[in-house]
Structure 1
Amino acid sequence: MPAQIYSPFQKFNFSNKQCFLSGQILNSEEEKIQVFPQWLMTLYNLEDQPFKLLDETIATYKDLKIPCSAAINDEFLEPLEKDIAAAFANGYDGVKALDTSKLYRWAAKLLYGIIFNEIQAGIRLMHSQGEDFNISQSIIHKFSHLHMMLQSINLPLHFEDFTPYSLFLFRVDNNEAEFGYRDEINTQTFALRIKDFGLVICLQDNGANGMYHREIYDQIKGDTLHPIQFEEFSGRVFYSNYLFNRLPEYNILPVGDEIYIEAMPLRGMSSKPLFDDWINKTYGQVLENFWKNWGFLLLEIIKNPEKPMSFLFDKDGNKINAADIELPN
């Protein structure tokens, strides 16, 4: 029988009775897995750390779980976790050697797990107020496509001549005890800065942000970055993905037992550029947030509105060496 893609957004099914990935009915509502894998939580003592949801409620990392069949977990998710954990144990070199599609699936699973918890929290809140849960069609469009791509974990699903994501990896001179995690679920942007590396992924842009930042990335990808430099590059990517103004569309082509996903051209019928105009004041606000650890304020960052503060390049456009940056790590 040909593989079937599970589409939870069609009937908006986010109960704990069905597997988040396959839609399979579970034996018990306790059949769940952690969103943040146990090995990662143990490494950074995250279990009881606070995690703020969009409705302003505070959960802990260990509270974030998703319904998942034991068979799916054993056959597909655990092997993926083992590969990622082993790569992360070897730091930058281990991650660099890993197939980027595995990193993508792992990050997508984690982000989708957070989305699943956010939706459940939103449904509970609306129902407690006697209202139906509403979510915009464009957000449903993005989330449902992310979930479809995620099923490349457990289905013979192939991306036909395209990559659904942009991925940036750096060696970073991190404080070894620091767990630097950041996401933006509306734009589906993910960043992780741990051990001796930093990773940024745009999970559903068909590589557009990779093209947008190619010139800068090519200049710095071989360097060891100071954490503030990595956060600057992350800020650029988070902001550009916010400016990305297309909703990617796909054709689904079942061929025998396989499923092929074909990306429609991003330009489509529009002559409008793929990205809205870059506004330095808004970018400065992003940087202020990303540089919170170092206490830089917006007024300092955009003192020169034409050239916001940068720790990657000096005023003449030359690269700044991480060793020359004197800030607390």
Structure 2
Amino acid sequence: MPAQIYHPFESNNFSNTTCFLSGQKLTSSEEKIQVFPQWLMSRYKLEDQPFKLLDESMATYKDLKIPCAAEVNEKWLEPLEAEMAAAFEIGYDALKNIDELKLFQWAGKLLYGIIFNEIQSGIKLQHSQGEEFNISQSIIHKFSHLHLMLQSINLPLQFDDFRPYSVFLFKVDNNEKEFGYRDEINTMTFALRIRDFGLVICLQDNGANKSYHKEVLNKIGSQTLHPIQFEEFSGRVFYSAYLFNRLPEYNILPVDDTIYLEAMPLRGMSTKPLFDTWNNKIYGQVLESFWKNWGFLLLEIIKNPENPMSFLFDANGEFVNENTIDLPH
């Protein structure tokens, strides 16, 4: 019998009695896993740190859990988690040798876990106000495709000649104790800066952001970044993910025991570019947020509106060596 894809968004099934990944019924509502893995929380003492949800309610990192069948966790998720934990412990040199698909699966599972908690919180809030749970079709489109692709963890699901993501990995001269995490659920973008690396992933762009930033990536090459340089690059990617104006579409093609996922061309029937026009003032606002640790204000960042402040590149567009940057790490 061919593998069966689980579609939680078709039935709005976000209860604690159904496995988030496989859709199978759970024997107990206690069958759950942590959204942020225990090894990561322990290393950075995150368990009791506050985590703000979209409805402004506060949780802690350890509060964020998702229902998961014990056998799914044991067979599929724990091996992935163990491999990632071992690579993170070594750092950049190990991560650069990990299959990008596994980085996508790991980050995607984490982000989907947050989404799952946000949806549960939204359902409770709207029901308490006597309303039906309502969510925009474009958001459902993105969330359901992310969930579909996560099933490459536990099903024979293969991406047919495309990658649904853009992965950016850099060596970064970080403070050993710092935990830098950021996500943007609407654009499906994830960033993590810890140990000696920085990782940014666009989870639903079919590689478009990787192409968009090709020139910048070529200039950076394999050079080590100062944390402010990594945050600048992250800001560029988070902003371009916001400018990305397509909702990727896919065909599901079961062949024998394998499910192939085929990407439809991003250009489709539209003649308009894949990305809306870059606006330096809005980009400056993004940078102000990403550079919060260093206290730079918008007025400083866009003092020259045509050429916003940059720590990645000098006035001639050449890469700036991180050793020449005189800022605290």
Q: Same fold (TM over 0.5)?
A: yes
Q: Residue 213 of structure 2 aligns with which residue?
A: 213
- Structure 1: distance between partners of 2:294 and 2:268: 42
Deviations 1:196-246 (A, max 9, x none): 000000001000000000111121131110000000000000000000000
Matched residue, 1:232: 232
The count of aligned residue pairs is 329
Q: Distance in 1 between matches of 2:151 and 2:92?
A: 27
Distance 2:155 2:306 in 1: 49
Aligned letter for 2:179? Answer: F
For 2:318, the aligned partner's letter is N
Distance (whole Å) between structure 2 residues aligned to residue 219 and residue 316 of structure 1: 12
Task: Report the 3-state secondary structure (helix = DSSP H, G, I; strand = E; otherwise coil) of the residue aligned with 1:273.
Answer: coil
Q: Distance in 2 between matches of 1:218 and 1:17?
A: 48
CA distance in 1, matches of 2:296, 2:273: 32
Whether the aligned pair in 2 keeps the contact of 1:33 and 1:66 (CA below 8 Å) is yes
Give the equivalent residue in structure 2 for 1:267: 267
Q: Distance in 1 between matches of 2:128 and 2:326?
A: 51
Specify the code of the residue in structure 2 equivalent to 1:185. I
1:72-83 alignment to 2 at 5 Å?
72-83=72-83
Q: Distance in 1 between matches of 2:211 and 2:220?
A: 15
Deviations 1:119-173 (A, max 9, x none): 0000011111111111100000000000000000000000000000000000000
The residue number in structure 2 matching 1:71 is: 71
The match for 2:60 is 60
1:267 deviation in Å? 0.1
Structure-2 separation of matches of 1:151 and 1:314 = 44
Provide the rounded CA distance (Å) in 2 between the counterparts of 1:145 and 1:151. 10
Gap runs ≥5 in structure 1:
none
Structure 1 residue aligned with 2:141 = 141
Question: Deviation above 2 Å: which 4+ runs of structure 1?
Answer: none
Give yes or no for contact 2:191–2:234 (8 Å, CA) kept in 1: yes
Residues 143-292 of structure 1: pairs in structure 2 closer than 5 A: 143-292=143-292
Q: What residue in structure 2 maps to residue 96 of structure 1?
A: 96
Is this contact kept in 1: 2:162–2:263, CA < 8 A?
yes
Q: Which runs of 5+ in 2 are unaligned?
A: none
Contact 1:123 1:133 in 2 (8 A): yes
In 2: Cα distance, 1:283 partner to 1:28 partner:
47
Deviations along 1:50-108, one digit per CA (max 9) or x if unpaired, are: 00000001100000000000000000000000000011111100101111111110000
TM-score by length of 2: 0.99
Q: Distance in 2 between matches of 1:98 and 1:159?
A: 18
SS at match of 2:96: helix
Say yes or no: does 1:7 pair with 2:7. Answer: yes
Task: Assess if the C-alpha contact under 8 Å between 1:170 and 1:221 holds in 2.
Answer: no
SS in 2 for 1:224: coil
Instruction: Indicate the residue corresponding to 1:311 in structure 2.
Output: 311
1:240-268 superposed Cα distances (whole Å, 9 cap, x missing partner): 00000000000000001110000000000
Q: Secondary structure at the match of 2:74?
A: helix
SS at match of 1:169: strand
Q: Which moved more, 1:148-157 or 1:95-104?
A: 95-104
Q: Is the 8 A contact 1:189 1:241 kept in 2?
A: yes
Q: Distance in 2 between matches of 1:216 and 1:328?
A: 24
Q: Cα offset for 1:328?
A: 1.2
Q: How far did residue 12 of structure 1 move?
A: 0.6
Aligned equivalents of 1:86 and 1:47: distance in 2?
Answer: 20
Contact 1:176 1:194 in 2 (8 A): yes
Q: Which residue of structure 2 lines up, in the alignment, with residue 105 of structure 1?
A: 105
Q: CA RMSD in A?
A: 0.5
2-structure distance, mates of 1:11, 1:3:
19
SS across alignment from 1:225: coil
1:237 and 1:93 mapped to 2: Cα distance?
Answer: 23
TM-score, length-scaled by structure 1 = 0.99
> What secondary structure is seen at the aligned counterpart in 2 of 1:303?
coil
Instruction: Indicate yes or no: 2:32 matched with 1:38.
Output: no
Displacement after TM superposition at 1:315 (Å): 1.1
Q: Does the aligned pair in 2 maintain the 1:169–1:221 contact within 8 Å?
A: no
Taking the aligned partners of 2:207 and 2:197, their CA distance within structure 1 comes to: 21
Show the counterpart of 1:124: 124
Q: Which amino acid aligns with 1:144?
A: S
Q: How far apart in 2 are the matches of 1:110 and 1:150?
A: 10
Q: Give aligned-pair identity as a percent.
A: 77
**Counterpart-to-counterpart distance in 2, 1:220 and 1:308:** 18
Q: CA deviation at 1:319?
A: 1.1
Q: Is the 2:219–2:318 Cα contact (8 Å) retained in structure 1?
A: no
